[in-house]
Amino acid sequence: MERADLDRALLNAHDEKDSGELVRLYTLAGDMAEEAGNIDAACFYLTHAFVFALEAGLPEAKELNRRLAERGRAHPLEL
């Protein structure tokens, strides 16, 4: 997915208040930033994905927390 398309999709998911799609898209943005070697940006996006996953009670929260904890950006939680 191109960055501009991702940004549009994120805005749309926010407008629709679609938590599942927000988790998916922020995770994708984090993955893309990580692949580009920008760990700070990756953790920024993954944190957003984590918060939306927690709020929605989605199982993705556990993996997102693990990834953030590995990078020193969160404390491991029992989810």
**What phi and psi, each to the nearest 5 degrees, are found at residue 46?**
-65, -35
| Residue 40 CB coordination number (10 Å) | 9
Helices (H), the chain: 3-16, 19-35, 39-56, 60-70
Tell me the DSSP string of 40-61: HHHHHHHHHHHHHHHHHT-THH
Of the candidates 26, 31, 76, the one whose C-alpha atom is nearest the C-alpha of residue 50 is 26
19-76 confidence digits (pLDDT tens): 999 999 999 999 999 999 999 999 999 999 999 999 999 999 999 999 999 999 999 9
pTM: 0.94
pLDDT confidence of 79, banded at 50, 70, 90? confident
